[in-house]
Structure 1
Amino acid sequence: MTDEIIARKSGHVGRITLNRPKALNALSMAMVTGMIEALQAWQNDDSVKAVVVDGEGEKGFCAGGDIRMLHDSGKAGGEEAWRFWHDEYQLNTLIKRYPKPYVALIDGITMGGGVGISVHGSHRVAGDRTMLAMPETGIGFFPDVGGTYFLPRLAGEIGMWMGLTGARLKAADAVAAGIATHYTPSDDLPALISALESADLSDDDALEVLLEEHSGDPGSSDLALTRGLIDAAFAGDDVSEMVSRIEAAGDPWSVKQAKIIATKSPTALKLTCAAIRSGADKSFEDVMRQELRVSTHCLDGVDFYEGVRAVIIDKDNAPNWSPSALAEVDDADIAKYFEPLAADKELTFLGE
C-alpha cells in the first residue's frame, strides 16, 4: 500500500490518514486505491466498529484531486484521467454505501475530491480550520465526486450557489448547511481521536456520545443572513436569468456574487446547473454514472484545459474561456456532455 495514506487499526477504529501534506493531501490514484483496499478489508472485519479519516498537517484535510495529471492525460489522449475518475467514483460510492460509521475530520481545506471522501460518509466533523468548497467552475469543470447528488439536496438553493460560485464555507456555514454533522474545536481533535481509539464502540450509542462530548459551538453562520438572497437568486434552471436577478438586486452581497460568476467558465456554469438539477431526483448510483460521462466528455472540450492552465500551470488566473459568454453556450452542446460512454467505459461498482 502507498505511503500517501496511513491505514491502520486502533482499538475498534479503522484509521485512515491522508499523507500528502505538502500537496494539501490532494488525492492521487495510489491514495484512491489505498482507501478502497482499507475500507473493503474493514467492511467485514467485526473488530472494526467505525472508520475515522483525517489529513496530515494543519492546512488541508484534502484539497481535491490530482488536477495536473487529469489535464496532462486528457491532452495526451491517455486513459489515466478516465481511470482516476472511474476509481474515485467507485470510492465515493463505497463510502456512501458503507455499512459502518464513517467519520471524516474535515479540519482544513476540503475541496472537490476531499468533499467526495467526506460528505457521503455518516459523520462529518468540522474544525476551526475548515474551509469547504466545490470550486470546479473556475477550472472549466463541474462539481463531481457526487457533488451533483448532495448539492441539490441541501436546503433551498444553497447547493446551486455553491456549485456555480465555488463559495467557501467555514465551519459554522458547513454545519448550518448540513454538510458537517458536528463541530469540534481544532485543538480538541487529537483528544477526540484518542477517545475514539480507546472507546468500546460495540455499543451503538458510544460513537454519538463521544462526538457530542467533544463538540462545541461553531459560532454564527453567514447563511442566516444570505439564505434569502441565495434562494431568490439561484432558483430555476437558467443561469443567465440567475445572473440577471443577481445584477438587478444591487446589494453588496449580490454585487460580489456577480463578480465571482463573471470569472467562471460559461460552459461550466451551464453544465453545472444542468447536472445539479438532473441529479436532484436520481439515485446516488445513477448520479455517479452520469458524472463519469460528464467528466470524460469534458476532456473533449477546451475550457477544462484552459482553466487548469490558468489556475494550476501558468497561474496567471486569466483564463480565455470559449465561448466567452453565457449567451454563446449552446444548450445542445451541453446536452452532449450527458451522452453515454462506450459500454466498456461506463461506471461499474465494486462488488458488482
Structure 2
Amino acid sequence: EAMRMYTSRRRLKPSGGFTSYRSKAGSEVLFEKVGNAGVITLNRPKALNALNLTMIRHIYPQLKKWDKDSETDLVIIKGAGEKAFCAGGDIRAVTEAGKAGDSLAQDFFREEYILNNTIGTYQKPYVALIDGITMGGVNFYFMSCSKWLLFCVFVSIGLFPDVGGGYFLPRLQGKLGLFLALTGFRLKGRDVQRIGLATHFVQSDKIASLEKDLVDLKSPSNSDVAQLLDSYQEQVCGKN
C-alpha cells in the first residue's frame, strides 16, 4: 500500500445529489463530508499545520468512525493555507512541556504512532493531497505536487527518523535514505516522485480538479484511485 497525497485550498461543491456538511473539532482540524468522501483539513497554517496532540485526538476517532460508515467510501486529508501540508509533529510544544515536567511527550508520541498505524492499515482509500512544505515522517501513498518541498528535519532537532520515515527511508535506492536522514536535504516536486518517495506527480493548478474527481468516484477501490492519479500524472509527464 502506498499513500495518496495532495492539497486543495477551495471547499468542494458536491456534484449530483450528494450532500455536504462541515463540522469543527476545534479550529485546528476540520472535518467535512462531501458526497461519500470524508475530508480532513489540518488547520494551523501559521504553524505550517504542525500536528499537535489535540488534533491527533480528534482525527483518530473520526477515521475510526468513517472506516465503519457504509456511506463513506474515501478519505482525503489536506492542509490549510498556501505554504504547507504539514510540518510534522509540533515538537516545540512537546519540548516546552518536557521542560515543565509535563507528560505531553509520552502521550504525544504514543498517540501519534497509533494514529499513523491506523492510517497505514486503513481499509478504505486514504488520499493525502500534498502541495507545499512537508517535514518529518509521513506514511502511506504519496502524490507529489509542483510546490511540494519535502525535507527530513530529524537531523536539525536531534530526533531519529520516526513514524513513516523509519519505513520508507531504508527502502530508497542506493544510499538516498541515509543521505536524506543525515543531511536534511530538501527535495522539490517531481524529484520526490523520481526517487520513489511519491507514486504520482501533478501540477499544483490541477489539484482542485483532482479533488473534485476523487470525490465523484463511486465506491472506489485503491485501484480506481490509482488509475485516476495515473491519468493526472500523464497530463504532466506522459506515460512513464
- Aligned residue number for residue 71 of structure 2: 47
What is the CA–CA distance in structure 1 between the aligned matches of 2:130 and 2:226, rounded to whole Å? 17
CA drift at 1:106: 1.4
What is the CA–CA distance in structure 1 between the aligned matches of 2:99 and 2:221, rounded to whole Å? 52
- Aligned residue number for residue 135 of structure 2: 111
* 8 Å CA contact 2:143, 2:201 repeated in 1: yes
SS state of the match for residue 156, structure 1? coil
What is the CA–CA distance in structure 1 between the aligned matches of 2:144 and 2:220, rounded to whole Å? 25
1:95 counterpart letter in structure 2 = I
CA drift at 1:41: 0.7
- Aligned residue number for residue 225 of structure 2: 207
SS state of the match for residue 217, structure 1? helix
Question: Structure 1: which 5+ runs fail to align?
Answer: 220-352
What is the CA–CA distance in structure 2 between the aligned matches of 1:12 and 1:84, rounded to whole Å? 31
CA drift at 1:203: 5.8
Judged with a 3 Å threshold, the aligned counterparts in structure 2 of structure 1 residues 218 and 62 are, in CA distance, closer, same or farther, namely farther
- Aligned residue number for residue 187 of structure 2: 169
Deviations along 1:75-102, one digit per CA (max 9) or x if unpaired, are 2222011111111111111111111111
CA drift at 1:74: 1.7
Name the structure with the higher helix share.
1
User: Do residues 125 (structure 1) and 143 (structure 2) align?
Assistant: yes
In the comparison of the two structures, how many residue pairs are matched? 213
1:217 counterpart letter in structure 2 = V
- Aligned residue number for residue 44 of structure 2: 20
1:47 counterpart letter in structure 2 = E
- Aligned residue number for residue 21 of structure 2: none
- Aligned residue number for residue 173 of structure 2: 155
SS state of the match for residue 25, structure 1? coil
* 8 Å CA contact 1:171, 1:218 repeated in 2: no
Equivalent of residue 214 in structure 2, options 196, 205, 225: 196
- Aligned residue number for residue 11 of structure 2: none
* 8 Å CA contact 2:151, 2:184 repeated in 1: yes
* 8 Å CA contact 1:15, 1:53 repeated in 2: yes
Question: Structure 2: which 5+ runs fail to align?
Answer: 1-24
- Aligned residue number for residue 217 of structure 1: 236
Percent same amino acid at aligned positions? 44
CA drift at 1:47: 1.8
What is the CA–CA distance in structure 1 between the aligned matches of 2:71 and 2:226, rounded to whole Å? 18
1:137 counterpart letter in structure 2 = V
Name the structure, 1 or 2, with higher relative contact order (CA <8 Å, separation 6+).
Answer: 2
What is the CA–CA distance in structure 2 between the aligned matches of 1:191 and 1:100, rounded to whole Å? 21
1:51 counterpart letter in structure 2 = V
Name the structure with the higher strand share.
2
What is the CA–CA distance in structure 2 between the aligned matches of 1:218 and 1:86, rounded to whole Å? 40
- Aligned residue number for residue 54 of structure 2: 30
CA drift at 1:11: 1.8
Equivalent of residue 162 in structure 2, options 144, 162, 182: 144
Deviations along 1:102-151, one digit per CA (max 9) or x if unpaired, are 11111100001xx42xxx22x32111110111111112222212322221
Please, what is the CA RMSD of the aligned residues? 1.8
Q: TM-score, normalised on structure 2?
A: 0.83
Runs of 4+ in 1 over 6 A off after TM superposition: none
What is the CA–CA distance in structure 1 between the aligned matches of 2:35 and 2:58, rounded to whole Å? 21
Q: TM-score, normalised on structure 1?
A: 0.57
SS state of the match for residue 150, structure 2? strand
How do 1:271-310 and structure 2 match up within 5 A? none
